[in-house]
Amino acid sequence: MAESLHDVKAESTILIIEDDIAFAELTSATLEEHGFKAIGATNGLEAMDLLSTTIPSLIILDYSLPDMTGAAILEQIAGSGLSVPFIMVTGRDDALLAVQMMKTGACDYLLKDAGFLDRLPAAVLRTLHDAETRERLRRTEESLRQSETRLARAQKIARMGSWEWNPQTGDIYWSDELYRIFGFAPGEPQQVEMDWFIDLINEADRPAFKKAVNSAARQCQPFSLIYRIKSRNGDDLVVNSQAEVECDSEGRAQLVSGTTLDITARIRAENEIQQLINYDTLTNLPNRTLLHDRIRHAIAQAARDRQMVGVLFLDLDRFKGINETLGHNVGDKLLTSIAKRLKACVRETDTLARIGGDEFSIVLTGVSNEETIAAITKKILTLISEPIYIDGHEIYTSGSIGIAVYPMDGEDVHTLLKHADQAMYQAKERDGNNFQFFSSEMNIKVLERMLLENSMRKALEREDLFLLYQPQVDTRTGGIIGMEALLRWRHPDMGVIVPDKFIYLAEETGLIIPIGEWVLRTACHQAKTWQRQGFPPMRMAVNLSAKQFGQKDLDDTIAAILLESGLDADWLELEITESTIMKNPDSSIRMLHKLRGMGISLAIDDFGTGYSSLSYLKHFPINRLKIDRMFVRDIINNPDDAAIVEIIISMAHTLKLSVTAEGVETRPLMEFLSSRNCAEMQGYLFSRPVSAEEITTILQNGLTY
């Protein structure tokens, strides 16, 4: 403090305006004695003159001067823009005047009395000190104002607003710029409330915003969040809010404060750049860069899901010619239309890209077999080859597609694209409008399957399917106790095809449902026909596939067929494999109970090859086990197989189930099985599967074996 007072003195020049020269000199001497520098003026004019060159730190002003009053001088000083503190000196002991002087801005006033010179130094010192303090305050305020203006200006330029939120009271403060960013006039609305603000936020981003705000308030978590907001003017903005949290000693958030930056323009620019980098400008489809990325992702996903990725490489046939004869403008429009058509063929999760002039690529994800890929490819080729109308021209085009499949044809982007490209050239060589898998085995497999699938659809319509029947014999009596219906397909080119070659395909395509129904109906009608012809009634065994058995209304379908054919349910037996039942044990049990309830008998086919879960068997309402011919075949030479068959037979007896041995081809086999208490058999020894007419003959004449 002492030091600052000393400073005040050292720098201070004091102007004494006083017409009484002797008094002025006394005053001046006293001040200089105390370390001040004093200058003097004897009237108003002289004082103003001096003030135009020198600015004193303090003025000691005599109220009554010859040319003007002290008040008038002060007015002039103020008018010239100076603000110098002053002490008024007056000869009259007049309190009123003193008050008036203090009102006009005097820092102090002193009476010209005997104590004047004693009081003077202290009064001067105090005034100077006060003035110094006031000045410092003014400067601080000024610089604060300046930095606030600067901040506001910076915020405006940066489109950044600041805010504060008191989670305890809910009070929210917004800076002017924040109001502007959100499209409001500063201060309107006066009371910003959290719920009101949340309503401005894009609905999809609200949960994230609420979460951030909650964890700021509850766990003192700072956050940085990008979200979308609808401004008052209806503009869609993207903003980035960053927040800091002040917490008390108990970890309660006292104040959350932060900035909000309008990044709409930046995001838009970024999007535009992304668009340029990743998309083709003509068709707006992903370009080669993005394609690589998408294939890479698809591979990663497929590796996790153990699935395939189909990479298709499509090149339009004759595009060059069209471009040259009809012009680039038409060429561009053609490409755009093709892009649109292609888009319609692929799913949202697939990628369609344009990778060059008339070259496109399609990435098929989530596929588990080549047939699906081939089917989509065929669809694409059909769509492309439909005529396109552009500017009055009817344009016919077609495409050649090469296909590479992950993981068989390559495990990385580069290899897959290269192989798809090679395959495309092969397709092109075969006259275009064609597709080609990269690997030849796949081509053959797919081609065969597709041919088969196509002709299978027709087989049903053209009645190319037929049934053979194989007798089931009770070796104790030698009589026929049942028949198994076995499906055959008379293919126009390939001749008669056995079920092992086409049932799986019928399963995959769903064709097994109508085919299976046809088998059931035909078998039931045949069984009833034999009954009507007067032959002793016998079981008709029909095989059911997994998909058929999985149908919810299977019982209704069968009931309808029984009704229609007139066959009593007691004479129908359904053969189901263990693996079919185990696919969905719970619903299987329910269906088995329903079928048993109808009076139908149930057999487990190929027993021994599947789970052979004996304990499980108890829970299934079944009548019969059919021992798979794999075991039966070797029982004489292979003691293990013999043991298994013996166990199955004795277990079946314990569970009060019937047993039928399949694939009995020789007499020794029959004798072995008979000696082990298995009397019911089926196999070539008795009869191969034969036509209904041949069975009729057998029924008339009896079996010879």
606 counts as binding ligand C2E under rule CB under 6 A: yes
CA torsion 613-617-623-625 (nearest 10°) is 10
Rounded to a whole number of angstroms, the minimum distance from the CB of residue 606 to ligand C2E is 5
Rounded to a whole number of angstroms, the minimum distance from the CB of residue 641 to Mg ion is 16
Rounded to a whole number of angstroms, the minimum distance from the CB of residue 309 to Mg ion is 38
Rank residues 117 and 690 by Cβ distance to ligand C2E and give the closer one.
Answer: 690
User: Alpha-carbon distance 280 to 353, whole Å?
Assistant: 8
629 counts as binding ligand C2E under rule CB under 6 A: yes
Could you tell me how many helices (H) and strands (E) the chain has, helices first? 27, 26
499 counts as binding ligand C2E under rule CB under 6 A: yes
545 counts as binding ligand C2E under rule CB under 6 A: yes
Rounded to a whole number of angstroms, the minimum distance from the CB of residue 499 to ligand C2E is 3
Q: List binders of Mg ion among 602-661 (CB under 5 A).
A: 605-606
User: Alpha-carbon distance 574 to 544, whole Å?
Assistant: 7
Rank residues 121 and 499 by Cβ distance to ligand C2E and give the closer one.
Answer: 499
Select from ligand C2E, Mg ion, none the partner in contact with residue 23, using the beta carbon and a kind-dependent cut-off of 5 to 8 Å. none
SS3 for 583? helix
Are 594 and 572 contacting, i.e. CB atoms less than 8 angstroms apart?
no
Rank residues 107 and 473 by Cβ distance to Mg ion and give the closer one.
Answer: 473
Residue 106 backbone dihedrals phi, psi, to 5 degrees:
-65, 140
Residue type, 350: D
What is the Cα Rg of the chain in Å? 52
For residue 169, how many other CB atoms are within 10 A of its CB?
A: 7
How far CA 23 is from CA of 20, 53, 114, 195, in Å, comes to: 5, 25, 12, 74
Whether omega before 407 lies within 30 degrees of 0, making that bond cis, reads yes
Structure tokens at 190: 């006066």
Rank residues 263 and 546 by Cβ distance to ligand C2E and give the closer one.
Answer: 546
Q: Which of 373, 376, 339 is nearest to 357 (CA)?
A: 339
Rounded to a whole number of angstroms, the minimum distance from the CB of residue 560 to ligand C2E is 18
Rank residues 317 and 662 by Cβ distance to Mg ion and give the closer one.
Answer: 662
Residue 67 backbone dihedrals phi, psi, to 5 degrees:
-95, -25
Select from Mg ion, ligand C2E, none the partner in contact with residue 519, using the beta carbon and a kind-dependent cut-off of 5 to 8 Å. ligand C2E
Select from Mg ion, ligand C2E, none the partner in contact with residue 322, using the beta carbon and a kind-dependent cut-off of 5 to 8 Å. none
Q: By Cβ distance, which residue is nearest to Mg ion?
A: 575
Select from ligand C2E, Mg ion, none the partner in contact with residue 144, using the beta carbon and a kind-dependent cut-off of 5 to 8 Å. none
* Interface with Mg ion: number of residues (CB under 5 A): 5
SS3 for 174? strand
175 counts as binding Mg ion under rule CB under 5 A: no
Rank residues 573 and 662 by Cβ distance to ligand C2E and give the closer one.
Answer: 662
487 counts as binding ligand C2E under rule CB under 6 A: yes
Rank residues 319 and 469 by Cβ distance to Mg ion and give the closer one.
Answer: 469
- Kindly give the residue spans of alpha helices, DSSP state H, lying in 614-682: 614-617, 629-633, 639-654, 667-675
Structure tokens at 701: 């004449």
Strand partners, 62: 89
601 counts as binding Mg ion under rule CB under 5 A: no
259 counts as binding ligand C2E under rule CB under 6 A: no
Which residues, 6+ apart, have CB-to-CB distance to 270 below 8 Å?
none
DSSP state, residue 167: T
Rounded to a whole number of angstroms, the minimum distance from the CB of residue 682 to ligand C2E is 6
543 counts as binding ligand C2E under rule CB under 6 A: yes
Rank residues 213 and 468 by Cβ distance to ligand C2E and give the closer one.
Answer: 468
Are 574 and 544 contacting, i.e. CB atoms less than 8 angstroms apart?
yes
Kind and range of the H or E element at 158?
helix 116-158
132 counts as binding Mg ion under rule CB under 5 A: no
Q: Using the rule CB under 6 A, which residue among 178, 503, 554, 622 binds ligand C2E?
A: 503
Interaction mask 640-679, ligand C2E, x per CB under 6 A? ----------------------xxxx--------------
Q: Using the rule CB under 5 A, which residue among 62, 317, 421, 575 binds Mg ion?
A: 575
SS3 for 366? strand
Q: List binders of Mg ion among 525-544 (CB under 5 A).
A: 543
User: Alpha-carbon distance 245 to 257, whole Å?
Assistant: 6
Q: List binders of ligand C2E among 432-471 (CB under 6 A).
A: 470
Positions touching ligand C2E (CB under 6 A) are 470, 486-487, 498-500, 503, 516, 519, 543-545, 575, 605-606, 629, 662-665, 682-684, 689
Positions touching Mg ion (CB under 5 A) are 543, 575, 605-606, 662
